[in-house]
Amino acid sequence: MTKSDLEDRFDIPAQLIIDVIRAHRGIWRDGCYVPTRGEVAEAPAATLGAWLLGWWWESPAELIPTDAQVEAVLAILRARPDAASPEIRRIIAQAPPPSDGEHV
């Protein structure tokens, strides 16, 4: 991945995240943090699990991940050196199902 790829938040613009937080009067909601691709690739599993579960399951409507975004996260998780660890496997197992019911 290039440096810009590593800093990408799965095509969610930083300004949208800021606007969502401002729309809630600056109150930080669980699910408002969308990790970067680099963070998904390298962050400790405990931290990453909290970020991803918040984004996947608690995000405001404007930030709900698409099937493609979830699949992109899962692809990165499966490519991690620790992909077979119980912690990463647990995160993968808690991913939202795709709208068609089939994970790629």
Asked if residue 28 has pLDDT above 70, the reply is no
Cβ-count burial of 36 within 10 angstroms (0-12 exposed, 13-18 middle, 19+ buried)? middle
What's the predicted TM-score (pTM) here?
0.87
Domain boundaries, the chain: 3-93
The stretch 62-91 carries a mean pLDDT of: 96
In this prediction, residue 34 carries a pLDDT of 94
pLDDT for 56 equals 95
Tell the burial category of 73 from Cβ atoms under 10 Å away from its Cβ (0-12, 13-18, 19+): buried
- DSSP one-letter code for 23: H
Q: Take residue 32 and report the two structure tokens written for it.
A: 């408002």
Instruction: Determine the pLDDT at residue 26.
Output: 61
Query: Rounded mean pLDDT of 54-63?
Result: 92
Query: What three-state secondary structure class fits 55?
Result: helix
pLDDT for position 31: 84
State mean pLDDT over 63-77: 96
Determine the angle formed by the axes of helices 45-58 and 86-93, rounding to 10 degrees. 0
Average pLDDT, the chain: 90
Q: Any residues with CB less than 8 A from the CB of 30 and at least 6 apart, and which?
A: 54, 58, 59
In this predicted structure, what is the pLDDT of residue 101? Answer: 60
pLDDT at 67: 96
Residue pair 54/33 in contact (Cβ under 8 Å)? The answer is yes
Using one digit for the tens of pLDDT, what is the confidence trace for 2-11?
777 889 999 9
